[in-house]
């Protein structure tokens, strides 16, 4: 993976209408058209929610997402006094190799990705396999906001307010068989809309694949996200469905998922297949195990720039040791990086 020095954020918060205002206006119109009483307006149509994330650009939330949002359990805005990364940085400094190798490529190119309709296949060692339209796939789950650190293996980091649901809830729905030991995720393969999949650059054997041990997936911190900053996921961040495992390097958090398989063998994952001496299956954030080409002891928290590099110490398991360290008791984390 490439390391580049990012531009400082040039976010002008006053330039855009905060998304909740936009959504609430649209909802008022929708309610009027449907002849609904004003009391049916969602909870987030109020000023407090609208002020959560100023500067968020409006999206085009599918109706199922907008309908679920009123019941969302919102998180506290700060993670231990660490500020949420500005929306502009989180959406314009991305890794999504299907759309190009530069940090700005996903924002420039992912608009072409068609996220509606979207279906997700659940298969392998499950009692209830199937192909679901995303709206149906999402029906059983209540959304909640989780504000997590995101630490990339390239040694930059952010703090992102995700909206999603625990993978454990999905596993309960699909009923893994006794043979299921891992969960494998696959991204959409569509060279027509994904220039990275057409280019000769492709060291990657598409589709992008990631995986977790089943007990890792059951950990309450592991979520499937459908939104961020109070709105649906922008395409460049992995719309409409992505994984978020905050104690692992960012490359584990696979984007734009179309297949979820329960399997008995450890899946071959994308970066491990490309360079297993640099990227392991576990990929737990670990400041004591360096990448062969750079230190993992420190990280650049975005926004960062030449005069304000914003460098900080990296924490074991990205600061989530209390929640996840017990998953790795007895495992040599130097060998299983
Ligand atoms: N998922 C897919 N399908 N393709 C990718 O290239 N990049 C990964 C991960 N998920 C990637 C992916 C990497 S290296 C990182 S650091 C995170 O997405 C970045 O997520 P972000 O762009 O939302 O910050």
pLDDT > 70? residue 177: yes
Q: Is 7 annotated as a binding residue?
A: no
pLDDT of residue 201: 61
Whether 126 contacts 263, CB under 8 Å: no
97 in a labelled binding site = yes
Mean pLDDT, the chain, rounded, equals 87
Question: Which residue's alpha carbon is at the smallest distance from atom 3 of ligand 1?
Answer: 255
pLDDT tens-digit series, residues 9-61? 222 222 222 333 333 333 333 333 333 333 333 334 334 455 688 889 989 99
Q: Whose CA is nearest to atom 23 of ligand 1?
A: 237
pTM of the prediction?
Answer: 0.87
Q: What pLDDT is recorded for position 55?
A: 87
Say which CATH superfamily domain 13-328 falls into: Oxidoreductase, molybdopterin-binding domain (3.90.420.10)
Domain spans of the chain?
A: 13-328
Query: In the structure, what pLDDT confidence band is assigned to residue 2 with cuts at 50, 70 and 90?
Result: very low
Instruction: Find out whether 98 is annotated in a ligand binding site.
Output: yes
Mean pLDDT of 170-180: 98
Q: How far is the CA of 242 from the centre of ligand 1 (A)?
A: 9
pLDDT at 18: 33
pLDDT at 265: 98
pLDDT over 70 percentage in the chain = 84
């Amino acid at each position: 993976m490439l390391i580049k020095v990012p531009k400082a954020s040039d976010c002008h918060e006053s330039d855009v209408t905060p998304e909740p205002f936009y959504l609430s206006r649209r909802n008022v119109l929708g309610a009027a058209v449907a002849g609904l009483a004003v009391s049916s307006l969602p909870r987030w149509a109020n000023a407090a929610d609208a002020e959560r994330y100023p500067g968020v650009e409006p999206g085009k939330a599918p109706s199922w997402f907008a309908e679920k949002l009123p019941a969302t359990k919102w998180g506290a805005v700060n993670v231990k006094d660490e500020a949420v990364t500005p929306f502009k940085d989180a959406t314009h400094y991305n890794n999504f190799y299907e759309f190009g190798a530069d940090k700005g490529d996903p924002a420039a190119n992912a608009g072409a990705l068609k996220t509606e309709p979207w279906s997700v296949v659940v298969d392998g060692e499950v009692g209830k396999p199937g192909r679901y339209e995303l709206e149906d796939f999402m029906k059983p789950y209540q959304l909640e906001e989780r504000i997590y650190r995101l630490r990339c293996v390239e040694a930059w980091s952010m703090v992102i307010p995700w909206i999603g649901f625990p993978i454990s809830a999905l596993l309960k729905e699909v009923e893994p068989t006794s043979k299921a030991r891992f969960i494998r995720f696959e991204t959409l393969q569509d060279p027509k809309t994904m220039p990275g999949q057409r280019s000769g650059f492709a060291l990657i054997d598409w589709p992008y694949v990631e995986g977790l041990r089943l007990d890792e997936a059951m950990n309450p911190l592991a979520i499937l996200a459908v939104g961020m900053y109070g709105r649906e996921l922008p395409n460049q961040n992995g719309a409409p469905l992505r994984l978020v495992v905050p104690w692992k390097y960012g490359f584990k958090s696979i984007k734009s998922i179309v297949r979820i398989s329960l399997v008995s063998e450890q899946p071959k994952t994308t970066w491990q297949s490309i360079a297993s001496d640099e990227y392991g299956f576990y990929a737990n954030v670990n400041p004591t195990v360096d990448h062969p080409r750079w230190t993992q002891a420190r990280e650049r928290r975005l926004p960062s720039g030449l005069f304000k590099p914003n460098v900080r110490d990296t924490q074991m398991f990205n600061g989530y040791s209390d929640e996840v360290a017990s998953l790795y008791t007895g495992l040599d984390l130097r060998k299983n990086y």
